[in-house]
Amino acid sequence: MAEAAKSRSEAVPALPTWPDEIYRVLKDAGIRQVAMVPDAGHSRLIRSFEADPETRVVTLTTEEEGVAMLAGAWLGGERGVLLLQSSGVGNCINMLSLPVICHMPLLMIVTMRGDWGEFNPWQIPMGQGTRPSLEAMGVIVKKVDEPDLVASTVQGAAHLAFNTWKPVAVLIGQRVLGAKNFKELARK
Amino acid sequence: MTNPNALLHRRDVVNELLRDRADLLVIAGLGAPNWDVSAAGDHPNNFPLWGAMGGASMIGLGLALAQPKRKVLVVTGDGEMLMNVGSLASIAVEAPKNLTIAVLDNERFGETGMQKTPTASGVDLAAIATACGIRTSRIVRTMAEVTELRDLAHERRGTAFAQIKINPEALVFVMPPADGVILTTRFRQSVLGDEALFN
């Protein structure tokens, strides 16, 4: 009986641990300013930062504001991170000139849409355009599709950004985040 | 329509804003505000933009949050401010005490042939800033008001915003260094000390 209960509880997928892991990684990297337009995939990480008196979480009206804000943070000696969804990458393009031409670090953590298992066709153009448009602007892009590799990918990206003064984006794939099925949601 | 002869001259305005600047940190928006700030004197505590249109005020926010004991003044144009006018909402929510945003409003896109911006049709940036929650927000039309704004920028009494109505005159370009690495490095070295060169 006890055995059966145990095996049932093991069958329930555990909460993903990578949001907590990247919170630790970002804290270790000295992140003090968090600029974000929220995405469901970032909600747990955002809650961790909001509960942290050492970090300032700034909600943006558009993601490019965050690129500019974190340039200002760097000018003032603070490190930050930009949390955004892949659709928001498109809003950043010209503003990325700033960290690129000024050799400023920029760490972007992008949760993907229009990627693996997407249900919403309108997410496809920017989702598929995310990597090439970042790379066209000179941003170093690292994609991660395995939950176990998210933390180490973010850690490597943070080192790259802050030690070599480069804009670096980590793309967290929909395989990690889980794709919603809106057709199912519509039936509920 | 306002009599253009009664409008303030942009370089007089900026010279007054930067009078006895002490340790003021200055972000200058691209185009004429950059040339105006540079005409008042090149300075390591200036970060003049040659691009990144729409970013000046948010650079000011990130800097103000990182350096809460320093005073940060953003000098930019109406076109630049309008490009990311949502920034005023983001900034109003954070409300850093040490940030002043001065918009030099000539109601024109000056660098591209003096085409009218929305402020020429009455769009009221100061009212937008007020509506976002920036309580110290005003339209400035006289040098006496510019002096008041200069004094506000040197205090740390709350985020301030001003839309300064200026003459749409085209003046000689006075350029700061254009290399972003030089501008960034000298600013960081000035603000953070030589340590900035090592990380």
Residue-level pLDDT, tens digit, chain B, 199 residues: 456 568 999 999 999 999 999 999 999 999 999 999 999 999 999 999 999 999 999 999 999 999 999 999 999 999 999 999 999 999 999 999 999 999 999 999 999 999 999 999 999 999 999 999 999 999 999 999 999 999 999 999 999 999 999 999 999 999 999 999 999 999 999 999 999 998 7
d(CA A29, CA A164): 14
Beta strands in A22-105 (DSSP E): 31-36, 56-59, 79-85
Is any Cβ of chain A less than 8 angstroms from the Cβ of B178? no
Closest-approach residue (CA) in chain B for A32 = B66
Is any Cβ of chain A less than 8 angstroms from the Cβ of B183? yes
Using CB atoms, pick whichever of A33, A60, A98 lies closest to residue B90.
A60
State the average pLDDT over residues A119-148: 97
**CA nearest A171: which of A128, A89, A112, A117?**
A112
- Mean pLDDT (chain A, rounded): 93
d(CA B152, CA B155): 5
Bridge partners, residue B108, by sequence: B116
* Cβ neighbours of B55 in A, within 8 Å: 64-65, 67-68, 71, 95, 98
Is any Cβ of chain B less than 8 angstroms from the Cβ of A93? no
- Number of inter-chain CB pairs under 8 A, A vs B: 125
* Cβ neighbours of A166 in B, within 8 Å: none
Tokens of B52: 């990144």
Bridge partners, residue B103, by sequence: B76, B163
Q: Chain B, 47-106: which have a CB under 8 Å from a chain A CB?
A: 47, 49, 51-56, 58-67, 70, 84, 86-87, 89-90, 93-94
Q: Which of B34, B63, B179 to mutate to test the interface with A (most CBs of A within 10 A)?
A: B63
Angular region, A104: left φ>0, alpha ψ -120 to 50, beta rest: beta
